[in-house]
Every structure is written in C-alpha cells, then in structure tokens.
Amino acid sequence: MKLTALGSTCIAMAAMLAFEGAYAQPGNGDLDLVCTGTGEKVQSQTDYSWDKKSHEYKDNTTVGKGQVSGTVQVQIHDGQGRMRVPKSLLPPLVTGSDDGWFAIRNLSVRPDRIDGSIKLNGLNKPNISIDRRSGTLRIDGMESFDGTCSAYNAGATKF
C-alpha cells in the first residue's frame, strides 16, 4: 500500500485532532468554583502575668499558627482568574484586593489541574493548585488552606 503526500498529511491531521480532542474540555472553559475547607494562618497572642520581682504585670507575646475554616471562591472567565479568600485567612495588611477578590497571577488551566498564585501583599504571594480530578484546592504560602471544590451555578437551585 502506497501513501501519497496528501494521504499522509490527512492521516497526520486526523491524529492531531484526535489527540487534541482527548484533552478538550466541554463548554468554553469558564469555571465558577466554591471550595470549603480549613487552613492555618500566623497569629500572635499576648498574655499578661504578674512579675513578683518588679511587682507589675508583664506582657508576653507569642506567635503561632491558628486554625481557620471557610469558603474560597474561584472564577475563571476568558482566560483570566480571580479568587476570594475567607476574611479569617487574610493577613492584617492586604493590598491588591478588588472588593475581596484577588487576581490569579500566572494562571495555568490544564485538563487535570489549575495553577497560579495570588498577591495578598508585598511579602505574601501564596501558590494555588487545584486538582481537577479530585476537586482538591491547596493554597500554600504564609497562610495555607486545603479544601474541596464544587462547580457553582448561580442560576441553579439546590432543591
């Protein structure tokens, strides 16, 4: 059997289309997600104790991690993404927020995962990773958050 140049080109194009079709996503690629879970953030705590030598109260400040729970919202439309982080997870100083929403920087949407980062302030730029197969979200930075995501449809009712 002899292949012509046109025939081999058609076979190659068909193979490429079949390969691309295996990774095609339904719809236009827009996503609205709601992710519930728990996280940790840096917190300080001040305790007062009586100093017997100086006969006065002394303050003792400690820094540690505190547990928080909440809901993260993720929206991806037209190749741009944004994320709303629970207020309880935000650091005291926040910059770059648009009514509580943070732009997802370096957004990468692949068939099996979504990656990027958000800028909470000049020093705090946590990485974001969403596993599209399991639905798990991970925010990893000074504050961390692990959650499970579900698709959100604003026009739909639950019951």
- Residue 63 covered by a domain: yes
Mean pLDDT of 77-91: 90
Cα distance between residue 36 and residue 140, in whole Å: 16
Where on the phi/psi map is residue 152: left (φ > 0), alpha (ψ -120 to 50), or beta?
beta
Structure token pair of residue 91: 């650091």
> Hey, which residues does 22 pair with through a beta bridge?
none
Domains: count for the chain: 1
The pair phi, psi for residue 17, each rounded to 5°, is: -65, -40
Q: Give 51-61 pLDDT, tens digit per residue.
A: 888 888 888 88
pLDDT of 27 reads 47
Helical segments of the chain, H only = 5-22
- Residue 156 covered by a domain: no
Q: What is the average pLDDT value for the chain, to the nearest integer? A: 80
SS3 state of residue 106 = strand
- Residue 142 covered by a domain: yes
Q: Give 85-144 pLDDT, tens digit per residue.
A: 988 888 888 887 788 899 999 999 999 999 999 999 888 899 999 999 999 999 998 889
- Residue 105 covered by a domain: yes
Nearest to 141 by CA among 70, 43, 41, 65: 41
- Residue 16 covered by a domain: no
Best-predicted range by mean pLDDT (9-13, 23-27, 99-103, 147-151): 147-151
What percent of the chain is modeled with pLDDT above 70? 82
- Residue 20 covered by a domain: no
The residue range of the domain holding 141 is 31-151
**Amino acid in position 29:** G
Assess whether pLDDT exceeds 50 at residue 2: no
Q: What is the CB-side half-sphere exposure of residue 108 using CA atoms within 13 A?
A: 12
- Residue 3 covered by a domain: no
| Cβ atoms of residues 129 and 94 within 8 Å | no
Assess whether pLDDT exceeds 70 at residue 19: no
pLDDT of 55 reads 83
Cα distance between residue 135 and residue 95, in whole Å: 28
Cα distance between residue 92 and residue 21, in whole Å: 46
